[in-house]
């Protein structure tokens, strides 16, 4: 059996930065460090950080007075930032810079007098944070039908922004529907969607074209991981989203000559390694990797973690 790895796969720069923020905060300020919501959508990553002293909470009210607080990579609403200030919690923001960019885009469009439409999934942490970062009504759409149901006249000036982890193809379809429904529409280019989402979707399409089975390593609450599996299925290849090698069903390998493996942007390499090891226990296999885009993007850490190690706990902003 051949095992072929997609390239790129796994951690993106935003996830790498978010995890490093928690690790450095633990080193700098000591345990416990409190994180509002999962820092990234991967149980393995969260459990590792928890073992080092990170405490994950749903609400700021669960955090003791004065405790170091970190906001997750998905971003938070301004109301959460204000609550932290009112409680005098020292905070570090691990929001992915590409998510912050969407917030800036939305505010820019509001100042320009446009009605803002957010293309995203209801209830997703990033969507909740984005809506809460823009001081104007934001209209959430996920499908073409949602666009048709928008309660605006055809000449309403519209601007769209997007959840960063969405499918490029699905986003393009919704954007097209906006242009068909309204005569004055602006927004970022489709290629302006998160580079990691685009690169991993392109890679999984290439992978599926040569595979009999596609395995996507990632969490079920990870939007970008779920979409990678959907793309494999749409291309007519049996595709499964798995947490690690222990989730493999040996029956999946019947009449399979090539297994393609990729990983969502919040899945660490060690989980991919566990899948390869599990497959090799079931069948003799060789491993190769596709050529792909080399990702060199790095994001700077927050200023509080770039200072010398003698720095004090940052004051609440």
Q: Which helix (H) or strand (E) holds 92?
A: strand 91-93
For residue 71, which of 131, 125, 135 has the smallest C-alpha distance? 125
Residues with a known catalytic role: 126
For residue 72, which of 91, 44, 53, 51 has the smallest C-alpha distance? 91
Between CA 151 and CA 219 the distance in angstroms is 36
DSSP for 262-274 reads: EE-TT--HHHHHH
Between CA 176 and CA 172 the distance in angstroms is 6
Between CA 13 and CA 272 the distance in angstroms is 18
Q: Which two tokens stand for residue 16?
A: 């790498």
Give the CA distances from residue 81 to residues 73, 78, 241, in Å, rounded to whole numbers and listed in that order: 14, 5, 34
Between CA 193 and CA 57 the distance in angstroms is 29
Strand partners, 3: 259, 287
User: Sign of torsion, CA 121 125 130 132?
Assistant: positive
């Amino acid at each position: 059996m051949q095992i072929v790895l997609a390239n790129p796969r796994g951690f993106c720069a935003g996830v790498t930065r978010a995890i490093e923020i928690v690790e450095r905060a633990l080193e700098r300020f000591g345990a416990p460090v409190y994180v509002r919501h999962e820092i990234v959508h991967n149980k393995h990553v969260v459990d590792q950080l928890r073992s080092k002293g990170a405490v994950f909470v749903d609400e700021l009210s669960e955090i003791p007075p004065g405790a170091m607080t970190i906001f997750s990579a998905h971003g938070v609403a301004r109301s959460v930032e204000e609550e932290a200030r009112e409680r005098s919690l020292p905070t570090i923001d691990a929001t992915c810079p590409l998510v912050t960019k969407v917030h800036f885009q939305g505010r820019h469009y509001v100042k320009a007098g446009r009605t803002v439409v957010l293309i995203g999934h209801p209830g997703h942490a990033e969507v909740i944070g984005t809506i809460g970062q823009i001081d104007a009504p934001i209209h959430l759409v996920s499908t073409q039908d949602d666009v048709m149901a928008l309660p605006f006249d055809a000449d309403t000036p519209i601007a769209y922004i997007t959840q960063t982890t969405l499918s490029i193809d699905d986003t393009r379809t919704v954007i097209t529907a906006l242009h068909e429904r309204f005569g004055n529409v602006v927004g970022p280019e489709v290629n302006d969607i998160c580079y990691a989402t685009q690169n991993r979707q392109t890679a999984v399409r290439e992978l599926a074209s040569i595979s009999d089975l596609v395995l996507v390593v990632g969490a079920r609450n990870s939007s970008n991981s779920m979409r990678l599996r959907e793309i494999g299925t749409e291309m007519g290849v049996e595709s499964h989203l798995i947490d690690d090698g222990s989730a493999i069903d040996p029956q999946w390998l019947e009449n399979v000559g090539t297994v393609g493996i990729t990983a969502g942007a919040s899945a660490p390499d060690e989980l991919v390694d566990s899948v390869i090891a599990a497959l090799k226990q079931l069948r003799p296999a060789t491993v190769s990797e596709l050529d792909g885009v080399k990702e060199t993007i790095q994001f700077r850490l927050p200023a509080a973690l770039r200072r010398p190690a003698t720095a004090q706990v940052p004051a609440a902003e």
